[in-house]
């Protein structure tokens, strides 16, 4: 073993979360062996099942323990019998905020051999990196309610946008564009959200002076939904606010072949806290235990984790192994995948281990 050693916290979570995470961990072990580093995993029992059993969502002591790791992997959390908001706010968003994970990085990349619902779309035309702001916007829990339950109820849900918060995600996006095709698109709704939109727009233009070789473009979020389907080749790196990013990355997942393929990283680029990597999909309680869950999104999230840890070669090996196995699948999830979740996890791990 080399002396590179990583401590990874694993939250399998609910539903298919633990199923896909187990498969992704096989590839992580295989690539560690192959590339000469070691990984210590610590499993944390968190999510809806733990909440229903104990009433606990995320104790502060666990937050502290998680913070001592090099990275965190999450499968999925959520159960139909847990009311909305409890796990989202209490676990996922709490960690994003507590760890200042201000980048939610979501690639939208069509892999060769993947059936996409967009007729005629080819991988060459679909390779996008969406940098979603992850600590501000309407996700801040700013707002309140008046006269609740009466016919005159008022609900206020505010969107917070700071020069600091917008500046750091836009800078991150420019840096990513430099590593890619050098094109940055701001996605917003500046024609209606004139206060926040103006802040975003001015920030992008001010910071663009530091990046004279990056071409800057703008698209309204509604038009983004259209272009993402009709002409994804317009985009290289896209920077956007928290809620727009949430919405357009689900559409992006559909374009790239489905939720079973969409990976994400919640990053703190300064490494003050561990970054968190998770598939974009949810816990899919309707298919739990059937072997129908596609583990590729979880595997690709491990690849993003490795890239963040500085293990670039290992990241490429895992990504390529997943890309090599995908064309052997009949569908990207469900009863007709052509193999079970576990068989696919094994196939990818074998490809990772290599010759
Ligand atoms: C996502 C999810 C989360 C979000 C929810 C579960 C809080 O939809 O990661 O995209 O809205 O960010
Ligand atoms: Mn979402």
Tokens of 316: 């490429």
Query: Scanning the structure block, which residue is given the tokens 């816990």?
Result: 283
Task: Say how many Å lie between the CA of residue 138 and the centre of ligand 1.
Answer: 12
Tell me which DSSP letter residue 111 carries: P
Residues 93 and 139: beta-carbon distance below 8 Å: yes
Reported confidence tier of residue 84, pLDDT bands at 50, 70, 90:
very high
d(CA 353, CA 355): 7
Tokens of 117: 């619902």
Q: Which residues surround ligand 2, an ion (CB under 5 A)?
A: 246
- Decide if 237 contacts 184 (C-beta within 8 A): yes
For ligand 1, whether the C-beta of 126 sits within 6 Å is no
> Of all residues in the chain, what percent carry a pLDDT higher than 70?
99
Contact present, 291 and 341 (Cβ < 8 Å): yes
Pick the residue whose CA is nearest to atom 4 on ligand 1.
Answer: 246
CB neighbour list of residue 20: distance below 8 Å, 6 or more residues apart: 75, 76, 279, 293, 294, 295, 297, 298, 341
The residue whose two tokens read 């024609």 is 191
pTM: 0.97
CA-based nearest residue to 164, from 133, 194, 208, 122: 133
Q: Tell me, using a 6 A CB cutoff, whether residue 278 lines ligand 1.
A: no
Band the pLDDT of 1: cuts 50, 70, 90.
Answer: very low
| 36: region left, alpha or beta (phi > 0 left; psi from -120 to 50 alpha) | left
The C-alpha atoms of residue 317 and residue 309 are separated, in whole angstroms, by 14
C-beta separation of 137 from 304 below 8 A: no
What's the rounded Cα separation, in Å, for the pair 284 and 226?
A: 27
Instruction: Summarize pLDDT for 29-67 with one digit per residue, the tens.
Output: 999 999 999 999 999 999 999 999 999 999 999 999 999
88 CB less than 6 Å from ligand 1? Answer: yes
Q: Of all atoms in ligand 1, which is nearest to the CA of residue 96?
A: 12
Residue nearest to atom 7 of ligand 1 (CA): 88
Q: How many CA atoms lie within 13 A of 311 on its CB side?
A: 27
Give yes or no for residue 166 having a pLDDT over 50: yes
Structure tokens at 298: 């979880």
Q: Is the pLDDT of residue 355 over 70?
A: no
Q: What is the mean pLDDT of the chain?
A: 97
pLDDT band with cut points at 50, 70 and 90 for residue 238: very high
Task: Indicate the helix (H) or strand (E) that contains 156.
Answer: strand 154-157
Average pLDDT over residues 135-139: 98
Instruction: Flag whether pLDDT at 2 surpasses 70.
Output: no
Dist. CA 282 → ligand 2 center (Å) = 9
pLDDT of 337 over the 90 cut: yes
Closest to 276 (Cα-Cα) out of 113, 100, 32: 100
Question: Ligand 1 pocket check: which of 78, 107, 132, 246 to mutate, most ligand atoms within 8 Å of Cβ?
Answer: 246
> What mean pLDDT do residues 231-241 have?
98
Strand order through the sheet with 183-188? 37-43, 4-13, 71-76, 275-279, 263-267, 103-109, 127-133, 237-240, 183-188, 215-220
Q: Is the dihedral of CA 332, 337, 340, 342 positive or negative?
A: negative
What distance in Å separates the CA atoms of residue 341 and residue 294, rounded to the nearest whole number?
6
* Closest residue by Cα to residue 296 from 114, 70, 94: 114
């Amino acid at each position: 073993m080399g002396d590179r050693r990583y401590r990874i916290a694993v939250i399998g979570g609910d539903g298919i979360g633990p199923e896909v995470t187990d498969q992704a961990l096989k590839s992580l072990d295989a690539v560690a062996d192959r590339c000469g580093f070691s990984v210590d995993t610590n499993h944390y029992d968190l999510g809806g099942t733990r909440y229903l059993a104990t009433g606990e969502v995320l104790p502060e002591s666990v937050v502290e323990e998680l913070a001592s790791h090099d990275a965190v992997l999450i499968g999925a959390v959520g159960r139909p019998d847990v009311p909305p908001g409890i796990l989202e706010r209490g676990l996922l968003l709490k960690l994003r905020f507590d760890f200042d994970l201000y980048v939610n990085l979501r690639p939208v990349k069509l892999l060769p051999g993947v059936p996409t619902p967009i007729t005629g779309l080819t991988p060459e035309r679909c390779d996008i990196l969406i940098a979603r702001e992850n600590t501000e916007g309407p996700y801040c829990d700013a707002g309140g309610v008046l006269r609740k339950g009466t016919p005159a109820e008022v609900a206020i849900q505010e969107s917070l946008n700071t020069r600091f918060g917008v500046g750091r995600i836009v800078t991150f996006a420019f840096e990513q564009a430099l590593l890619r095709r050098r094109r940055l698109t701001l996605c917003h709704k500046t024609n209606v959200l004139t206060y926040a939109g103006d802040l975003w727009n001015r920030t992008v233009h001010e910071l663009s002076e530091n990046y004279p070789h990056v071409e800057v473009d703008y698209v309204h979020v509604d038009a983004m939904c259209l272009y993402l389907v009709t002409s994804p080749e317009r985009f290289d790196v896209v920077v956007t606010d928290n809620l727009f990013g949430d919405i357009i990355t689900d559409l992006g997942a559909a374009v790239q072949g489905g939720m079973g393929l969409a990976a994400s990283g919640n990053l703190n680029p300064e490494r003050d806290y561990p970054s968190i990597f998770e598939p974009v999909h949810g816990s899919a309680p309707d298919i739990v235990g059937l072997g129908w869950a596609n583990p590729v999104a979880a595997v690709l999230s491990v690849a993003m984790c490795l890239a963040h840890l500085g293990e670039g070669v290992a990241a490429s090996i895992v990504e390529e192994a997943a890309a090599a196995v995908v064309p052997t699948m009949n569908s990207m999830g469900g009863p007709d995948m052509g193999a079970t979740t576990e068989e696919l996890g094994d196939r990818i791990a074998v490809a990772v281990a290599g010759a």
